[in-house]
Amino acid sequence: MEKLKVGIIGFGTVGTGVYKVLQTIDNIEIKKIAVKNINKKRNIENFDETILTNDAFQVVNDPDIDVVIEVAGGVNPAFDLLKTAINNGKHIVTANKELLAKEGSELFRLAKEKNIIILYEAAVAGGIPIIMPVKTTLSANKITKIAAILNGTTNYILTKMHEQNLSYDTALKQAQELGYAETDPTGDVEGYDASYKISILSTIAFNKKVSIDKIYREGITNIKPQDIQSAKDLGYRIKLIAMGQVLEDGKIDVRVHPMLVAKKHLLAKVNNATNSIMLTGYPVGELVLTGPGAGAEPTASSVVGDLLILASELKTSPCPLPQTVCNHEEIADQIEIGDTYNDYYISINASNNPGAIGIIGTICGKNNISISTIMQKGINPDNTAQIVVITEKSKESDVQNALKEMLKSDSIKNIDNLLRVMN
């Protein structure tokens, strides 16, 4: 049987993991691997260094290569490389969520024109199979909501803050020491990584192009131990949630931000670096997939799985995997965060004077906000008190207006935090 010839772009943790798995598969031949540093010592037994190149265009221009595996990440030069590969008739397997979120429309348009397949199971949730199931076995369903933990770094940090009462900085340092967080953790802790993933997943689930530029994004850097403790006291855990949902009027609400999640909720029980995706649709109802969302072996599992599906299809069909073609023609009508409705957690620093809670209640009432719970969390040395408010479902713009009005009152010293609540 003729072997499928592949080239790999990127040979870091994931690329090395993919290489090692492919060495166990007989009908795949690795022709070239593009690396940044060709002289770097590779800790791989019996590794043939002659297949290395520091020019990634040698991979995408090699006439013998059938499939390009791209696991380098980033938009540049990956975008130009994959466009060249597609134009040269090569199929693509990628784990590059940023590239697909930002430039996926162009790549999928070009691939459709050239009858080329792009597979990207590893781009959303590492080892959790979600892309292919949504496109195949779940295709009978109308999916209306996604709620997910899609970033292991932030979930690890929040878990340690909850379980060990660590500060954000201490939990981040621990995550970095264990290799869960990069030296520059911005992409994870500020929600960029999760926003790329939810844009991809929402696009295929709702069958409309969801723009990364219209996704509201908020990270976890403002989460304090007092918020973690207040959430505990109220029966919640704080999680970074990536959410997408179809509203009654057909508009799409897609966002990433921390949320208080009721402790009885399945997502509240997902800890450490684990990822989890909850889909709601008809007729399936509610479906939850949980597992490792990153790392060499889980990601390699999805990359090589895509490759083997492609290898099987290429032997039997001139138009392989038509169900995997993405719909980027219809653009989703995405709403802004100010037009969303949520329950809210508001942490307020107020003077310890009679009437402070009354002022908060009055301002909330003026702005169409009903209060579900309000509690005072003790007296600070400066004679201020932390007051925690949980609202009933309210419009975001009304809540923001109320907070501005509160800050004009002499009794309200600061709004320490505003988080949305998932019940």
Positions annotated as catalytic residues are 197
Measured between alpha carbons, how far is 285 from 401 in angstroms, rounded to an integer?
37
Q: Which amino acid is at 46?
A: N
Q: Is 417 helix (H, G, I), strand (E, B) or coil?
A: strand
Q: Any residues with CB less than 8 A from the CB of 70 and at least 6 apart, and which? A: 9, 10, 78, 81, 82, 92, 93, 94, 95, 96, 99
Measured between alpha carbons, how far is 142 from 118 in angstroms, rounded to an integer?
23
Measured between alpha carbons, how far is 297 from 21 in angstroms, rounded to an integer?
8
**How far does CA 156 lie from the centroid of its chain?**
14
The DSSP result for 196-216, as a single string, is: HHHHHHHHHHHTSBPPGGGSE
Q: What tokens does 204 get?
A: 């295929």
Torsion of CA 315, 319, 320, 324, to 10 degrees: 180
Q: How many other C-beta atoms lie within 10 A of the C-beta of residue 6?
A: 25
Measured between alpha carbons, how far is 211 from 218 in angstroms, rounded to an integer?
16
CA distance between the termini of the chain = 55
Measured between alpha carbons, how far is 186 from 289 in angstroms, rounded to an integer?
26
Report which secondary-structure segment, H or E, holds 155.
helix 152-164
Q: Any residues with CB less than 8 A from the CB of 23 and at least 6 apart, and which? A: none
On the 0-12 / 13-18 / 19+ scale of CB atoms within 10 A, 54 is: exposed
Q: What tokens does 152 get?
A: 């292991």
Q: Is 274 helix (H, G, I), strand (E, B) or coil?
A: strand
Q: Which amino acid is at 175?
A: A
Measured between alpha carbons, how far is 327 from 17 in angstroms, rounded to an integer?
31
In which region does residue 108 sit, left (phi positive, over 0), alpha (psi from -120 to 50) or beta (all else)?
Answer: alpha
